[in-house]
Structure 1
Amino acid sequence: DRLVDEKTDWCRPNNTRSKNDLVRKPCLTNPEYRNSLRKMLASKVEKMKEYSMHDFSLGDECLFVVGDYDLCFSDTCRADFKRFVKEEYGTIEKLNAEYGTTCKSFDEVEPLPFESAKEQDQIAGWVDHRLHMDSVWAGIFGFCRDSIRGVAPGARVGYEGSNLHVDSYSAGDYWKLSRAMNLNNIYYQPFQAAALASFASKGDLLGFGWIGGYGAPHAKKHNYETQYRSWLTLLKGGNSLWVWNAGGPSSGSVSAPEYEFYDYFQDALSAVREMKAGLGKALIRAERQADFGIYYSPASIHTAKFMGTRLGNDAHLQDISQLTIDLGFQPFIYSPEQVKGGMLLRNKPKAVYMSFIQSISMEEAEALKKYVAGGGVLIADICPGVRNAHGKLLQSGLLNNVFGISGSTGNSIKQGELVPDGIRLVGRTLVLPYDSGVSLNGGRAAGRVGDAPAIIHNSYGKGRAVLLNFSIEGYIPSRVNWPENQYAALMRSILANLEIFPDVKTGTQVPGLEVTRFKSGGLQYITFLQDIVSTSIELTGSSMFVAVPDKKPVTKFTATMPSEGYVYNVRDGKYMGKGRQAALGIKVLEPAVLAVVPYKIEGISLSAVPGRVEQGQKLRYSIKVNSNDATKIEEQIVRIQFINPRGQEVEHYGGNIPVTGSAEQEQRLALNEAPGIWTIVARDLISGSMAKTCFIVGGTKR
C-alpha cells in the first residue's frame, strides 16, 4: 500500500482531507494496522522466498502526507508522543520548564497542532511534535524491515523516490530514515544525494536517481538523463541503477514493443557495460572522499517552519550543496547525532557549513566548539545556535563566543544590499536576508549588509569561525552565469582567505564540473564529470527530457592532484607519467577517470594449474600485478574472461577480481563443458595491461 496517507495520495482520484482533519489514514502507530501490515508483508515475502529475493522495496513515492497537513493526532499517536517526550526530558519538571506548563505527569502532556501552537506561542511543544512524527515515519520503515527479515533474514528493505524535499510536514528526517532502511533510490537532488551517501551503512543498496523513458524520447538518439545520470549514480557512491521502465509497449519504456532497446538508451547500456567490466567494482570497493561538511538539523527546519520563514528550507540546502560541488569539494552531511558522537573530530572536514541552524542542543554546541578549538573551520549564515534543540529562544546564542558576536536572536531579519570588502561581485546587486541585530564581540567584520556587518571572522582556540550574516538565495538558478557567478566568487574568496582549497585543482574554472575522489589504501581514483551548465552545447526539449546532439564540445584543462604518483587514464587504459598533473580533455556528460598509484604498474601475469582439467573439475589459476615497488602494492581490479574453443566468451566463469599483488582463484567447470583448448584473458583495470593463458578441457564432447 506504499504506506501513504490515503486521503492525500497523488495517485488517488480526489484529495479528501480537510484542513482540520489531522488523523492520518492509516495511522502508523495504530496496533491493528501494524499487525495487518506485518501479516501482509510476511505473506508476500514468503511467496517470494523461492525466487531468492533479497531486496524489497516498500514502494515508490511513499509519502507521509501530500500538502501542509500537520498530522497525526490520533489517539495512538498522542499516546506515543507522551512516551517520546518522557524519553526526551526524563522528568515532568524539565518538560514544564521548557513548555511553560504545569503538567503533573506525562499523561497530561498533549501535542498541539500548528495553529493552536502558534496561538499559545508553544514552539517547543510543536517542534517536539514534529520531531516525534519524524520518528514515527522512520519507525514504520524499521517495523517493515524487521517484519520482512523475520521471513527473509538479512533482506535489504527500503523505498524509492520518496521524501523528495526537506520540509516539516513530510516527516522526512534523513538520518532517522537511514537507520530504519538499507535500500533507497532517490529522485536526484544535490542535498538528498549527499545525505544518502553520508548516512548510508556498508552494504546498503543505493541509487541516485531514475533514468529511462520519461517523456518518451523514442525518436532521439541521445538523451541527457540516460547519459549523465548513469555515470553520476556511480560517482555519487551508488551501487545500483534504477530504470523506469522496461515495459515494452508503454509510453515510458526504454524498449520498443518487441523489447529491443531504443537508440536513446544505448548510452546507458554502454555505460553499464563499462562499469560492469571493473570500474564499478573498483569505485564501490574504494572509500569515497567527502571533505566539506554541511550541518543538517531537523529541529532547525521545524523551528523555521513555526517562525514562517523560508530560510534554511530545501532550496537553501540544495544551493549550499551544489555550490560546494561546483567549487571543487564534495559535501558530507552531518546529523546532530553524528556531531554529538564526535564524527567531526574523526573525519576532520575542511570546513563545516551551518545554513540557518538556529536550534541546537548544548551537546551539539560543545561538540562544535571542540571541533573548532581543535583546529576546525566553522562557517554559518544567519542566527547560528540562537535557540535550543526544541526551538526555544536563548538569552545568548550557544555559539556566540565561537563567532565573536552578540545580539543575534533571529527576530531582526531584514533585506539589505550585500557590500563585501575586497570581493568584486559582477552583475546584479545582491539584496539578501540578514540579521540586523548582530554586533561584534571580538570578531572582525569585512563589509556590510544593510545596516549590519556582513562577514565576521573570529579565531577560536586553534580554529577559525566565519559568520556570513546573510543567506545565500537562488544559487542553482544562477549557475548559468558561471564562472562569474556572484555566490561562487564570494564563497571562493572566503575559502581562499581561510586557506581552504579543493584537493584537486583544475587551473581554470570549468562550468558544471564535478570532481570526486575515491581512496583504496594509498591508491586514488579521481573522477571528472561535466554537467550541461553554461556550455556551448545546444539542447532540445526541457528539463530531464532534453535531447543531446551527437557532437559535444571537449573541455580541456590540467588537473593537479593532491599528491605525486604514477598517473593512469583508467577509461583509456593509458599511462600518463609520474607527477601531480595530468592534461585532460573531457566531453560533457562523459567522465574521465584517473588513477594515482604509488608504484608503476609493469604488466600482469596469468597462469593456470593444471594445464589440463576434466569436465566438472576445478581449474586453479593465478593472477599477479607486476610493479616497480612491491612494498607499496594496493588492491587493483583485474577483469577475467574465459573464452571457449569456439572463441565465445563464457561470462559466468569470468568476473572482476580484486588483486593485491597476487591472487589465487579457482573455477569449477560444468559437467558437460566443451572439451578443447580454452583461453583465459586478464586485463588490469587501471593500466589496461593484459595477459593470456590457455588450458585444456578433457572429456567427451556432448
Structure 2
Amino acid sequence: LAPIGLFGISLTDDSSAARELPYGAYTNLKFYSYLKELYGDFEGTCKAWGWTPPEEEVAAEDLPLNPYVQVAFHRFLEKKYGNLEEVSKAWKVKLRQFAGATQATVKAEREKGNLVPSNDVAEFKAAFQGDANTDDPFGRITRASVKAAFDAGIPGPWIDAQRFLELEWYNDIADINRASQAVLPDSWVGTDASYYGNGIAECFSLVPYVCPYYSHTALKIAVARGRMSKPGCYGVCLGSYGGKPANMSGRRGQVWDVALSGGTGLYYWILRYYALGPELTLSDAHALYQCEVIEELDGGLGEMLATCPPVFSPIALLRSQNSGLCDQLEAKEQPVTNHALSFDAFLGAMEDLTLNPWIITAEDLESGWLKRHPVKLLLLPGVNSMSEAEMEAVRAFVNGGGVVVADVLPGRRFPNGTPRSQAPLAELFGVQYTPLGKDQKAGVRGIMTGKSAPDGGELSFGEVLADVRVKAGTATALGTVEETPVLLRQQVGKGQAFLFNASFSSYSTYRAEGGDMWVPWSEVMKSTVSAAGLERPYPFTSQGKDTPGFRLMAFDNGRSTLLGVTDTGCADFGGLRRPLEITLPQASYVYDVRAGKALGKLDTLKVDLPRSGQRVYSLQPYEVRSLQVRLDKTTCGGGETVVLTAEPVIDPAGKRDLHFLRVEGFDPEGERAEMMRRVVQCPEQGPVSVPFTFAYNDQPGVWRFVVTDVSSGVSRAVRLQVKGGTR
C-alpha cells in the first residue's frame, strides 16, 4: 500500500458468506469449535438441534466426508509427495490448498478417467486405522448430513452453519484489517458495494471501512454501527467503469445520501483490467457529476458533516441476524412479513417522524446495551428468532418503563431456527399463541380496520396479512383482520407493549405512494412514539399537509444544529419543486449552507425543494454578522510567508460553536490557485491563523484571498501585492 500512496483496500465486492458448509475439512473443524462454544459438547449440540447425525456410509472407493479423516489423508499426501505442488502434478489438478483434495475432486477426476486420486484414496484407506480425532462424533456433522437434516425438516444444523459462515466472513475482513494495520497503521481494509446480508449490522461493527452504495438502509446501518463502535470511513464507494449515460444521477444522490445520513467519507474506485498508468482518463458521462459534488463537499461542508455527530433518538431498532436467516424457514408458512422488509418499514417510519434510531444487534441486547443507554422505545421488526438472554432484556426494559413495539410476535424460534412449542414473549404482549398444525398457514389476508389509539377514530388500512396463531389475552385489540386481533397493546409494569400482529412492512410501499393509504399506519406510529414520551423533533408538512417523502437528519453542533434535508420522492406530488414547511424546536438564525445565504431568525423553515434535491441548514442561537480578516503584511516576495488571520463575528458575542472557514487564493488573472486553498477549523473564541508561502515563480501582481464561513456563507476578501521572484 505505502509505496503507491494508497490507504484503503476493498477486500470484497458483490460478495457474501457461503450458504453451505464447504466440502473441505478445515472450515468444518472451525465449525465444530463454534458449536462447542454454543452448546458445550456433541450431546448438547444434538439436544439443541433435536437431531443426532448418523454414522457416515462410505463406498469402498470413496474418501469419507469426515473432516478428521480428510486431514489424515492430506498428511498422507504430504508425506507421499512432499508438498502440495507435487500432489497437483501427480493428480494433474491445480490444488491451491490441501483442503481442495476432497471426495468431490477425487470423483470428478475418476469420471474423467484419471485414477491417480482414487488410487491414493485406496492406498490411504488400506493403511489408515483411524486415530483419536476420527473417533470424535462431531466428524459426522458434514455438508451432506446438515443438508439431509434440513431436507428432513430439521433446521438447527442448517441455520447454525449459516450463522457460523457469516461470522467467519466478516471476521476474516476484521482479521486482515488488523494484520494490515500492524504493518501500516493508517491503512484500512473493509468491504464496499457488496454486503447486504443478514449479518450486516455485525459486519459493520467490526470493519473500519464500509461503503455500501446500493441501499439507503445498508448505509444507515453502516453509519449507525460504525459510529457506535470505532472511528473509520463509513460512507459511499463511487466508481467509474464507462458506459454510463450523461444524465445518470443516482451516484450524485448517493454522495448526498452518505453525507446527510452521518457518513464520514467516500472512496472512488476505477475498474480496469490492466495496471493504472498516466494515460488514465475519467469519462465525463460517469465521473463529472460525482466530482462536482465531491468538490462542493470538499469546500468545508463535508468537514462540517463528518465532524458534527448525527443526533440519535432514544430509540433502539433491532437488526436480528438470526431472524433474517430464519426467514427461509418462515417462508413455508405464508408469513406475515420477513425481517428485512419489516426493518425497512420501521426505519422509514422513524424517518417520517424525523427520528433517528440506534441500530442494535442481538449481542447488544444480550450484553445489557439497553441498560447503558437512555432508550425509551425498542422496535422489534419481523423478529422471529431470539435467545433467552435477548428476551429477558426486553422484559426488563418494558418492566422498567420502556415501550416495546413489534409487528409480529417475537422469539417464536430458537436462535438456530428450531421452533419453540410456545412463544415466551406472549405474556409480555398479552396474547395467546397456538403453533400451526400440519399444512396450516400463518397468514390470513383481509381488510384491516382499527384505531391508532383507544380514543382515536376508526381507520381503514386496506388489505393486510395478520397472524392467525395470535389471539388477544390480557392485551386490548384496537383492530381486526377478519376475526384475527391486530393493534394489540397492554401496560406491563411501568412500560407498555405494542404488537401489531399485521403486515406493517406494507408501510414502505404506502410511504412511497403517499395519499390516504399512508395515513392510518402513520397515525399508529405517532401513537406508539407518543406512548414512549417522544416528540417529533422537526415536524414537517407539505402545503400544510402531513406527508412522507422527506428525510431530515440533525447533526449536533453544540448549541447549534446542522439539518440535512432530502426529497426522497412521493407519488402524490408530481411537480418539479416540492414545498416543505419544517417546524423548528426553537427560533434560530437559519442559514442555507449550500447557497451561502442567511434566511433570518425563524421558528418555521419554508422551502421549495427540487425533486431528489438536498439542502443543508445551519440553525444557530446567534447571528454571524461579519468576518474579520487581515494579513500580517501588505506585500510579499517569492519564498516568503504571509499569515492570514480570520475570525467570525457573532451577535450576541461569546463562544462559538463549530465553524469551518474556507480560504481561497486567486492570482492576478483571477484564476483560483488550488495550492492556496484551505479549509480550517475555528477555535471557540479568537481568530484562526493560516500561513501561505509563495513560490519564486508565482505570478507577480495583486493576489486576492477570499475567506468564507462555511456555515453562514458570510465572506470577506483581502488583497496582497506579490513581487516577482529573484530566482
Q: What TM-score, normalized by structure 1, do the two folds share?
A: 0.79
Residue of 628, 640, 661 corresponding to 2:651: 628
Aligned letter for 2:232?
A: D
Residue of 650, 661, 672 corresponding to 1:649: 672
- Counterparts of 1:122 and 1:293 in 2: how far apart (Å)? 33
- Counterparts of 1:50 and 1:102 in 2: how far apart (Å)? 55
> Residue deviations 1:72-99, cap 9 Å, x none?
3431121101111222334556445423
Matches within 5 A, 1:196-345: 196-201=222-227, 202-208=230-236, 210=238, 216-218=244-246, 222-241=247-266, 261-262=284-285, 267-291=289-313, 292-309=315-332, 311-345=337-371
Aligned letter for 2:245?
A: P
Distance 1:535 1:497, change over 3 A: closer
Aligned to 2:450: 421
Instruction: Say whether the 8 Å CA contact 1:511–1:535 is kept in structure 2.
Output: no
Aligned to 2:718: 693
Instruction: Say whether the 8 Å CA contact 1:457–1:466 is kept in structure 2.
Output: yes
Structure index of larger Rg: 2
- Counterparts of 1:395 and 1:536 in 2: how far apart (Å)? 48
2:559 is the alignment partner of 1:522: yes
Aligned to 1:191: 217
Aligned letter for 1:492?
A: E
Distance 1:561 1:120, change over 3 A: same
Residue of 527, 530, 540 corresponding to 1:496: 527
- Counterparts of 2:529 and 2:235 in 1: how far apart (Å)? 35
The CA deviation at 1:130 is 1.4
Q: Secondary structure, in 3 states, of the residue corresponding to 1:528?
A: strand
Q: Which runs of 5+ in 2 are unaligned?
A: 54-134, 274-278
Instruction: Say whether the 8 Å CA contact 1:383–1:408 is kept in structure 2.
Output: no
Distance 1:305 1:102, change over 3 A: closer
Distance 1:209 1:444, change over 3 A: farther
Matches within 5 A, 1:509-548: 509-534=546-571, 537=574
The CA deviation at 1:426 is 8.4
2:3 is the alignment partner of 1:53: no
Aligned to 1:669: 693
Distance 1:570 1:117, change over 3 A: same
> Residue deviations 1:136-168, cap 9 Å, x none?
11122223323433443331112222124x3xx
- Counterparts of 1:617 and 1:94 in 2: how far apart (Å)? 77
Aligned letter for 2:588?
A: G
2:102 is the alignment partner of 1:70: no
Aligned to 2:87: none
Structure 1, 637-646 or 470-479: larger mean CA deviation: 470-479
Distance 1:467 1:258, change over 3 A: closer
Aligned to 2:463: 430
Aligned to 2:36: 86
Identity of aligned residues (%): 19
Matches within 5 A, 1:421-460: 421-422=450-451, 429-432=462-465, 434-460=466-492
Structure 1, 321-330 or 152-161: larger mean CA deviation: 321-330
Aligned letter for 1:232?
A: D
Q: Secondary structure, in 3 states, of the residue corresponding to 2:672?
A: coil
The CA deviation at 1:330 is 3.5
Instruction: Say whether the 8 Å CA contact 1:630–1:661 is kept in structure 2.
Output: no
- Counterparts of 1:408 and 1:284 in 2: how far apart (Å)? 50
Aligned letter for 1:200?
A: G
The CA deviation at 1:260 is 6.5
Matches within 5 A, 1:540-689: 553-611=576-634, 615-659=638-682, 660-672=684-696, 674=698, 677-689=702-714
- Counterparts of 1:211 and 1:590 in 2: how far apart (Å)? 21
Q: Secondary structure, in 3 states, of the residue corresponding to 2:347?
A: helix
Q: Secondary structure, in 3 states, of the residue corresponding to 1:236?
A: coil
- Counterparts of 2:404 and 2:537 in 1: how far apart (Å)? 19
Instruction: Say whether the 8 Å CA contact 2:9–2:188 is kept in structure 1.
Output: yes
Distance 1:179 1:586, change over 3 A: closer
Distance 1:322 1:236, change over 3 A: same
Aligned to 1:549: none
The CA deviation at 1:131 is 1.1
2:488 is the alignment partner of 1:466: no
The CA deviation at 1:673 is 5.5
Residue of 428, 432, 441 corresponding to 1:406: 432
- Counterparts of 2:637 and 2:701 in 1: how far apart (Å)? 10
Aligned to 2:155: 123
Q: Secondary structure, in 3 states, of the residue corresponding to 2:310?
A: strand
Q: Secondary structure, in 3 states, of the residue corresponding to 1:288?
A: coil
The CA deviation at 1:446 is 0.7
Aligned letter for 1:204?
A: G
2:321 is the alignment partner of 1:368: no
Instruction: Say whether the 8 Å CA contact 1:682–1:691 is kept in structure 2.
Output: yes
- Counterparts of 1:213 and 1:477 in 2: how far apart (Å)? 33
- Counterparts of 2:697 and 2:243 in 1: how far apart (Å)? 46
Q: Secondary structure, in 3 states, of the residue corresponding to 1:517?
A: strand
- Counterparts of 1:108 and 1:641 in 2: how far apart (Å)? 68
- Counterparts of 1:597 and 1:239 in 2: how far apart (Å)? 23
Distance 1:285 1:626, change over 3 A: same
Structure 1, 669-678 or 505-514: larger mean CA deviation: 669-678
- Counterparts of 1:524 and 1:347 in 2: how far apart (Å)? 22
Residue of 177, 180, 184 corresponding to 1:148: 180
Aligned letter for 2:696?
A: N
The CA deviation at 1:106 is 7.5
- Counterparts of 2:296 and 2:253 in 1: how far apart (Å)? 14
Instruction: Say whether the 8 Å CA contact 1:566–1:600 is kept in structure 2.
Output: yes
> Residue deviations 1:402-447, cap 9 Å, x none?
3222326577613132433236898884131x32232334321111
The CA deviation at 1:277 is 1.6
- Counterparts of 2:432 and 2:283 in 1: how far apart (Å)? 66
Instruction: Say whether the 8 Å CA contact 1:190–1:318 is kept in structure 2.
Output: no
- Counterparts of 1:356 and 1:469 in 2: how far apart (Å)? 10
- Counterparts of 1:631 and 1:418 in 2: how far apart (Å)? 60
Q: Secondary structure, in 3 states, of the residue corresponding to 1:484?
A: coil
- Counterparts of 1:334 and 1:589 in 2: how far apart (Å)? 29
Instruction: Say whether the 8 Å CA contact 2:632–2:644 is kept in structure 1.
Output: yes
Q: What TM-score, normalized by structure 2, do the two folds share?
A: 0.76
> Residue deviations 1:655-687, cap 9 Å, x none?
222223334334351552535544332111222
The CA deviation at 1:400 is 3.0
